[in-house]
Each structure stands twice: as structure tokens, then as C-alpha cells.
Amino acid sequence: MNYDSTISPNFARRDFRTDFHFPDLSIGSVPIGFPCIQAALSGVSDWAERQIARRLGASATVSEVMLDEFIISVTHAKGKKAKRFLRVEDSDHPVGAQLMGVGPEDFTQAALKVVEWGFDWVDINFGCPVKKILGRHRGGFHLSQPEMALSIVRSVRDTVPAEIPVSIKMRRGLDDSAESLEKFYEIFDGARALGISVFTVHPRTVLQRYVGTSDWKFLADLRKYAPDAVILGSGDLFSAEDCVRMMETTGVNGVTVARGAIGNPWIFRDLRELAAGRELPPLPTLSEQREVIEEHFALACELYGEKRAVFNMKKFSIKYAQIHPEHTKVRDDFVKFRTLGELRAILDRWYT
């Protein structure tokens, strides 16, 4: 069977090399090194998923998006939920915590809590495009109100210890209007004046969500506008080649991979191989794929317990199937499993 002919074009092996020099990255005072980070993604970048990303080459990771009021409530209770969302071990560093909320008071309390739990930096989410989030004046909604956005930034930066970096995740505006662009730069410039030097920018608008292509030219223009800022690029990074092209064409300091790493944590390994001047490695063998799926499930069981881990792994296993030569059949089987035994049977059927 021709492996590449049966899978998504994102995973096809092509002759690709680069002589691009990958600069070392730092988030404020936190050294990252290789400039490729596992991005925050709600319901995805939990402790288990971050462990897999790190093992396969991500230099740092960011927690899934956490509501400020949720962090305050679970840390007061100090129960299982707090341990699941805020788990940080020695091997996790460097790791950031991404927060989302409405106003400065709860944002600041939550920022102090995640620092207490051991996260290395605080990332403020001004980019989430989910309708429910926007309706509650969180995430990307803040791009429409620079005064409130900067009030949050000021409060967080003034309250967390000076040695803890604060970064911001943004989109290029609420929509394509000149007013939205002006507000983007008002927040960007205002945040820099408040001591923020690291920005992750997804060059789609909030209202665009994930429709169409991301505007990488916006990143290049922003790089020229603020050559001293640390700008991390996001958006349409589904392969190691995409990551190289974004860095080459835009001049960003690094990349953060979100959707492109779901089910394909090998994207980090592939990018490191390209950075070393080597060709893309072959796709992971079925044995290697199975090893990672089983490891991911074991970590999820440790985090959630077996029952919830089975439910949680469904969204990941469907994505892992994309790399399999019989991906449609494998995906259909993953959609149906309900127990650990059924998952093992699927792995025995397709990954031997």
C-alpha cells in the first residue's frame, strides 16, 4: 500500500529541507530554546496531552484555556478539579497558564493562583472566537474594548511577581474594519508600554473564527512595526513545513501549534529534524503510533481515572487515525469505542 496516497495531504512526506536558522526563544525571563510551543487549546492541552507534546519535541507548552472565576473556585476547594487543571510537575517546565475572563479583579486573583501552582508564565487570552465566550465578554471580545483589555493587562502585570512573565494571545482584530485594526494596535502598543514584550498572534479576525486562511502578511507587517517585540505566530500550522514557512516569510520569533498537533504530536519531532538540516523523517510506524496512543491514554487515566479517560480520548483517537493508511475505517472504529477493552481491541486490529 502506498502510505502517502491514503492519508491527509498534511501528513504526506515530501522532499523538503531548509537552511533557515531557528533562533532561540525566551518568554521574558523564561528560556524556551527551540522556538516551537504547544499552544493552549480548550479541552485539548491538558496535562496528559502536554506530556506527549513535550516528549515528541515541543520546547514548552501552555495549559488549556482556563476561566479566571473557575480557577478561583477550584483552588479554594483544593479538590480533584484543581489538581487536574493545574497539575505541574518538574518535567513540565517550561509551561504557561492561559487565562480568560471579564475584568481585572478575578483575572488578577486567578493569575496569582496559577503562579502559586507552579506555572512559569501567565498568558492572557484576548483571542478566543467562540460565540458563547464572546457573548459573555471574554476572550476575543476584549479586542473591541481596549480600555478594559489594558486594565486587565495592567492589573495582572502589576500584581504577579516581577520575575513571572506575562504574555498576551490575540487575533488581528474583532473583524476586518479599520476600527478593529486601530483597536488591535491600541491594545498592542498599550500592553508594550505596560511591560508586556511577548505576544502570540493568530492572524484571523475573531469573527472569522477558523474560516478561510490566516493572513500571514499581517504577521510580517507586525514584525516590521515592532521589531523589538517577541511575536509568536499561530494559525494554519498543520505540518512542520508550515511552521518553517511561517517563520521564514513573516519573521516571527517562534510558532505555537494548536489544532495541528491534535493527533499529530510528531509535528514537533519533524520540525526539529528540519531545523537540524535533515529531511523530514518517515511517518511514524504503526507500532510507534500505537505506543503514543497507549501512552496518551495511560496519562489520561492517571489524570482523570479510567472512565473519564475513555470519554476524553475519543476526540484524540479520531485525530490519531488521520495518519493511519486506513484512516477512514480506523476513525469509524474509534468513534464507537466505549470501554478500555474496546479501545485495546481497535489497537490490536489496526496497529499491529
pLDDT exceeds cutoff 80 at 13: no
Residue 4 within a domain: no
Residues 21 and 121 in one domain: yes
Residue 265 within a domain: yes
Q: How many domains does the chain have?
A: 2
Residue 5 within a domain: no
43 CB-near residues (< 8 Å, 6+ apart): 64, 315
Residues 236 and 314 in one domain: no
Model confidence at 5, in pLDDT bands (50, 70, 90)?
A: very low
pLDDT at 4: 42
Q: Could you give phi then psi for residue 263, rounded to 5 degrees? A: 80, -5
pLDDT exceeds cutoff 60 at 347: yes
Residue 27 within a domain: yes
Catalytic choice (36, 128, 243, 301): 128
Residue 254 within a domain: yes
In angstroms, rounded to a whole number, what is the distance separating the alpha carbons of residues 282 and 265? 14
Residue pair 63/97 in contact (Cβ under 8 Å)? The answer is yes
Question: Is the previous residue joined to 94 through a cis bond, with omega within 30 degrees of 0?
Answer: yes
pLDDT exceeds cutoff 60 at 1: no
Lowest mean pLDDT among 2-16, 28-42, 156-170, 265-279: 2-16
- DSSP one-letter string for 256-315: EESGGGTT-THHHHHHHHHHTTPPPPPPPPHHHHHHHHHHHHHHHHHHH-HHHHHHHHHH
Residues 67 and 197 in one domain: yes
Q: What is the grid cell recorded at 307?
A: 472512565
pLDDT at 81: 77
Q: Is-catalytic flag, 243?
A: no
Residues 104 and 150 in one domain: yes
Give the whole-number percent of the chain exceeding pLDDT 70.
95
Residues 228 and 120 in one domain: yes
Residue 230 within a domain: yes
Residues 262 and 333 in one domain: no
Residues 256 and 161 in one domain: yes
Model confidence at 16, in pLDDT bands (50, 70, 90)?
A: confident
Residue pair 239/322 in contact (Cβ under 8 Å)? The answer is no
Q: What is the pLDDT of residues 53-109, one digit of tens each?
A: 999 999 999 999 999 999 998 876 566 777 888 999 999 999 999 999 999 999 999
Residues 131 and 248 in one domain: yes
- As a whole number, mean pLDDT of residues 245-271 equals 97
Residues 262 and 313 in one domain: no
Residue pair 249/307 in contact (Cβ under 8 Å)? The answer is no
**Pairing state of beta strands 230-233 and 121-126?**
unpaired
- As a whole number, mean pLDDT of residues 288-304 equals 96
Residue 6 within a domain: no
Which residue segment(s) compose the domain that 305 sits in?
Answer: 286-350
Residues 299 and 266 in one domain: no
pLDDT at 74: 83
- As a whole number, mean pLDDT of residues 130-141 equals 95
pTM: 0.93
pLDDT at 80: 74
Q: What is the pLDDT of residues 298-342, one digit of tens each?
A: 999 999 999 999 999 999 999 999 999 999 999 999 999 999 999
pLDDT exceeds cutoff 60 at 213: yes
pLDDT at 38: 98
- As a whole number, mean pLDDT of residues 43-55 equals 96
Residues 74 and 24 in one domain: yes
Q: Which residue from 233, 232, 214 is spatially nearest to 25, judged by alpha carbons?
A: 232
CATH number at residue 157: 3.20.20.70
Q: What is the pLDDT of residues 147-158, one digit of tens each?
A: 999 999 999 999
Residue 287 burial by Cβ neighbours in a 10 Å radius (0-12, 13-18, 19+): exposed
Q: What is the grid cell recorded at 116?
A: 502559586
Residue pair 38/257 in contact (Cβ under 8 Å)? The answer is yes
Q: Which of 227, 247, 275 is the last residue of a domain?
A: 275
How many residues appear in the chain? Answer: 352
Q: Which of 275, 309, 324 is the last residue of a domain?
A: 275
Residues 59 and 201 in one domain: yes
Residue 243 within a domain: yes
CATH number at residue 331: 1.10.1200
In angstroms, rounded to a whole number, what is the distance separating the alpha carbons of residues 119 and 87? 9
pLDDT exceeds cutoff 90 at 140: yes
- Cα angle: 17, vertex 20, 23; to 5 degrees: 135
What residues form DSSP beta bridges with 166? 122
278 CB-near residues (< 8 Å, 6+ apart): 17
Q: Which of 244, 275, 306 is the last residue of a domain?
A: 275
